[in-house]
Structure 1
Amino acid sequence: MGESGAGPGTVRPGGRTARVRAAVLQAAGDLLAERGFDGLDLAEVARRAEVGRTTVYRRWGNPSALAADLLSDMADQSLPRTETGSLDGDLLANARLVQRTLADPRQGRLFCALIAAAECDERTAGALHRFYRTRIAEWAPCVEQAEERGEVPPGTDHAEVVRAVSAPLYYRFLVSGDPVDVPAADRAARAAAAAARAGAFTR
Structure 2
Amino acid sequence: MTSDAEPRKAVGRGEKVRAAVHAATLAELVDKGYAALTVDNVAQRAGVHKTTVYRRWADRESLVVDALADHVAADIPVPDTGAVDTDLRELARSLVHTMTSPTGQAVLAAMLSDAARLPEIADARKRIFGDRLRRAEPVIARAVERGELPTDTDPGELLKTLAAPIYFRLLISAEPVDDSTAEHAAALALAAARGGVVRKG
Shift of 1:96: 0.3
TM-score for the superposition, normalised by structure 1: 0.85
> In terms of mean alpha carbon deviation, does 52-61 or 74-83 score higher?
74-83
Q: Distance in 1 between matches of 2:68 and 2:126?
A: 10
Q: Distance in 1 between matches of 2:194 and 2:53?
A: 50
Q: Does 1:163 align with 2:160?
A: yes
The higher relative CO (CA closer than 8 Å, separation ≥ 6) is in 1
Name the structure 1 match of 2:100. 103
Name the structure 1 match of 2:71. 74
Name the structure 2 match of 1:112. 109
Counterpart contact for 1:92–1:186, Cα < 8 Å: yes
Residues 153, 76 of structure 1: CA spacing in aligned structure 2 closer, same or farther, 3 A cutoff? closer
Q: Distance in 1 between matches of 2:199 and 2:158?
A: 10
Look up the SS of the partner of 2:151 in the other structure: coil
For structure 2, the 5+ residue unaligned runs are: 1-11
Counterpart contact for 1:33–1:113, Cα < 8 Å: no
Q: Does 1:28 align with 2:25?
A: yes
TM-score for the superposition, normalised by structure 2: 0.86
1:75-128 C-alpha deviation (Å, 9 max, x unpaired): 552343111222211111100000111121233223332333552111122122
Residues 76, 91 of structure 1: CA spacing in aligned structure 2 closer, same or farther, 3 A cutoff? closer
Structure 1 runs of 4+ aligned residues shifted over 4 Å read none
Structure 1: which amino acid aligns with 2:195? A
Counterpart contact for 1:96–1:186, Cα < 8 Å: yes
For structure 1, the 5+ residue unaligned runs are: 1-14
Counterpart contact for 2:68–2:107, Cα < 8 Å: no
1:35-63 C-alpha deviation (Å, 9 max, x unpaired): 22111211111111121122223322322
Q: Distance in 1 between matches of 2:142 and 2:126?
A: 25
1:114-148 C-alpha deviation (Å, 9 max, x unpaired): 33355211112212222222221121111122222
Counterpart contact for 2:78–2:135, Cα < 8 Å: yes
Residues 72, 26 of structure 1: CA spacing in aligned structure 2 closer, same or farther, 3 A cutoff? same
Q: Does 1:84 align with 2:81?
A: yes
Number of residue-to-residue matches in the alignment:
189
Name the structure 2 match of 1:10. none
Structure 2: which amino acid aligns with 1:77? A
